[in-house]
Amino acid sequence: RHPCMAMRVPMGPLSLLLVLFLLSPRGSAGGSCPLRCVCASNLLSCSQANLSAVPAPLPRFTAVLDLSHNNVTRLRADWAPARLPHLHALLLSHNGLAFVSTEAFTNVPRLRHLDLSSNRLRTLDENLFSDLGELEVLLLYNNEITTVDRTAFENLGRLRKLYLGQNRIARFPLELLREGTRLPQLALLDLSANRLRAVPAGELQALPAWLRDRLYLHNNPLACDCPLFQLLARGHRRRLSAVVDFQDELRCVLPGTPTPIRILALAGRQPLNCSEAREAVLEAYLGDSVTLGCDSRWQGVRSRHWVTPGGERVLGEGGNDSVVLLANGSLQLRALRPEDAGTYACWVAGPLLNETVYVELLVHNFTLHGPHDTLNTAYTTLVGCILSVVLVLIYLYLTPCRCCCCRGTEKPPAPRDDSINSSVLSTTPNHAGGTRESGGSRVASSAGTGQNGKFKGGGTPPMPPRQGPKAQRKVSDPDSVSSVFSDTPIVV
């Protein structure tokens, strides 16, 4: 044989053994595969290994660590004593986990996926996940969580999905969503199957549509009210997934009714009798400037255009003096006119489907600071009614002399002495010298006049010549009581 051929025979088995050692799970340069675990490249699967603690040491190259279905009840700060710069997925579901240290994630800053579901966690403490600046998905469903600290999700600027369903949460700090700076990238929030009794419907309606599309509130004992119905009715009209996919599970409780009812069935139903919800309505006044937002379900869309009520398309940024398309996709209208009222449409080209958003603009026919704003219609009507009643009362009770204007010139006013009160109740004969007619009656022969042409209290007007019964009746005062009872003088 050639000398070189003799050298190749012993080297073949050695090379094979060296290659097998390097490729074996326990022969990696970064560390060995822990006992009871299966290692495949940078993936470590220790699931269902009956572990009570995280195995150590962990290979430094580990990218995915699966510790689900074990008995790891406490996650201390030293579970990863060395830094794991490549770890981006940690699975700890179904462990009976009841405690997580606030320093548990110090050595895994590159973590993007964290699964703590189906455990026994009861509280989310302050700054619990603040070290996970690159976290994108956090699964906490099917725990026993009752309290959520508003700083538990501090510094999670890249968090996109947060699952908190099937817990015991009675209040979630929704101000984290309202501010928009705590969780700016959040696109999915699952709060289903908790103990929420009320949610700020007005604040949730102000959230962008791409977040409301994945805001799950079903299977909560929510109290029935019209703002909640309006919120979900608009979502159903917009075909938002969180409403359409779970419309039968979206139920609420009426006062005095133990059985929850479907929230979307509240339209026109007693005792709330909620009205139908419209897509988006904006009210403005003449001369104002308003901005119409394109509330699309798709996040980060760049391709969109507006169509005015007159059919005019507004495509690119800029525009004329009255209609301007802003960089964020909103449409700004300046110096509103009555003809600017109507329904505007925003056409959005999404990554999967296209979407059309409608905004109805109402323009009132007076300015905001004009004279018509001082009194609205209802107040003006009320004031008019009150003034009418006051005028009627003045006419009826405060008129100086109501009788002098209604009698003719041929009927002089009768003195008060001819009334039944003066003739019957008075004990003194009412005369200043007179004659007695047959029947014993007395007739006054003269009377004096007082100031302003009025008769004095002691006299009666002179009797004109008798010309029959009709003439005698003419002398008597039509307002006098005696003229009603008899034409015959009263006998004293």
Q: What average pLDDT does this structure show over 268-285?
A: 77
Examine the pLDDT at 5 and tell me if it is beyond 70.
no
- State in Å, rounded, how far the first CA of the chain is from the last one: 178
Measured CA to CA, the distance from residue 212 to residue 199 in angstroms comes to 13
Tokens of 26: 């326990």
Measured CA to CA, the distance from residue 147 to residue 124 in angstroms comes to 6
Helices (H), 180-244: 201-205, 209-212, 226-237, 241-244
Task: Dump pLDDT digits (tens) for 6-17.
Answer: 433 344 443 433
Higher pLDDT, 203 or 72: 72
The pLDDT of residue 267 = 81
Residue 79 lies in a domain: no
The answer to whether the beta carbons of residues 68 and 47 sit under 8 Å apart is yes
CA angle 335, 341, 347 (to 5 degrees): 100
Q: H-helix or E-strand containing 314?
A: strand 313-314
Average pLDDT, the chain: 76
Structural domains counted in the chain? 1
Helices (H), 1-80: 3-23
| Backbone dihedral region for residue 127 (phi beyond 0: left; psi -120 to 50: alpha; all else: beta) | left
Residue 297 lies in a domain: yes
Residue 347 lies in a domain: yes
Task: Dump pLDDT digits (tens) for 246-259.
Answer: 999 999 998 888 88
Residue 354 lies in a domain: yes
- Domain range for 324 is 282-363
Measured CA to CA, the distance from residue 203 to residue 178 in angstroms comes to 7
Measured CA to CA, the distance from residue 310 to residue 361 in angstroms comes to 13
The CATH code of the domain that includes 349 is 2.60.40.10
Choose the weakest-confidence range: 120-134, 299-313, 465-479: 465-479
Task: Dump pLDDT digits (tens) for 73-117.
Answer: 999 999 998 899 999 999 999 999 999 999 999 999 999 999 999
Higher pLDDT, 472 or 52: 52
Task: Dump pLDDT digits (tens) for 337-359.
Answer: 888 888 888 878 777 767 777 78
Measured CA to CA, the distance from residue 225 to residue 347 in angstroms comes to 32
The pLDDT of residue 1 = 42
The pLDDT of residue 336 = 86
Residue 332 lies in a domain: yes
Q: What average pLDDT does this structure show over 113-129?
A: 95
Tokens of 245: 């996919």
Give the confidence band of 366 by pLDDT, cuts at 50, 70, 90: low
Residue 401 lies in a domain: no
Residue 455 lies in a domain: no
Measured CA to CA, the distance from residue 105 to residue 128 in angstroms comes to 9
Residue 409 CA, chain-centre distance (Å), reads 73
